[in-house]
Amino acid sequence: MTVYTVRLPVYEGPLDLLLELIERAELDITKIALAQVTDQYLAHLRSVAERDLADLASFLVVATRLLQIKSEALLPRPPEREPGEEDPRRDGDEGRAEEVRDEDDPVRSRPSGERVHADAFRADLQEEGHGQSEQDPARA
């Protein structure tokens, strides 16, 4: 297993230690440029002759965790609500999106839509001589 060292203005050392320091709140994730960490790792991959899949997987696990921590630090949190309290951002149209999707989909909007399309396709094949002349076994 190759030891990969990150070199940033606020930290220099192994990637797993960087994650540990951030998780223990000893280092501020918002001061870390994750794009720079990724660019350095890609450069590291180009420089090694043989790539170890375990190392690559370890990097992906740590990078994913760092990205999650940073996104949680930067994105606003939704306000806490009392049990049973409704979210004021919702206006009662939860089911409306599904209704609109069903209206736009001809197969969903007609209960027999799938059968109509299958029968039309089967009729086209029979006209071209590719279909079965006897009763369709799927219908038997």
Asked whether the beta carbons of 30 and 22 are under 8 A apart, the reply is no
The answer on 100 and 65 residing in a single domain is: no
Amino acid at 20: E
Tell me, yes or no, whether 68 lies in a domain: yes
Higher pLDDT, 139 or 35: 35
Domain tally, the chain: 2
pLDDT-derived band at 67 (thresholds 50, 70, 90) equals: very high
The answer on 65 and 30 residing in a single domain is: yes
pLDDT-derived band at 101 (thresholds 50, 70, 90) equals: low
Residue 115: predicted pLDDT = 52
pLDDT exceeds 70 at position 6: yes
* Lowest model confidence (mean pLDDT) among 71-75, 84-88, 125-129, 133-137: 133-137
Give 30-34's long-range contacts (Cβ < 8 A, gap of 24+): 30/70, 30/73, 30/74, 32/8, 32/66, 32/70, 33/8, 34/63, 34/66, 34/67, 34/70
Tell me, yes or no, whether 102 lies in a domain: yes
**CA atoms of 118 and 104, how far apart (whole Å):** 19
Tell me, yes or no, whether 12 lies in a domain: yes
The answer on 103 and 46 residing in a single domain is: no
With CA atoms as reference, report the closest residue to 127 among 117, 119, 116: 119
Q: 77-98 pLDDT, tens per residue?
A: 877 877 877 766 665 555 556 6
Residue 140: predicted pLDDT = 45
**CA atoms of 50 and 26, how far apart (whole Å):** 34
Residue 85: predicted pLDDT = 75
Q: 9-65 pLDDT, tens per residue?
A: 999 999 999 999 999 999 999 999 999 999 999 999 999 888 889 999 999 999 999
Tell me, yes or no, whether 133 lies in a domain: no
Residue 76: predicted pLDDT = 86
Domain that holds residue 119: 96-127
Residue 83: predicted pLDDT = 82
**CA atoms of 61 and 106, how far apart (whole Å):** 43
Helices then strands, each counted (H, E), the chain: 6, 2
Tell me, yes or no, whether 89 lies in a domain: no
The answer on 48 and 107 residing in a single domain is: no
Tell me, yes or no, whether 140 lies in a domain: no
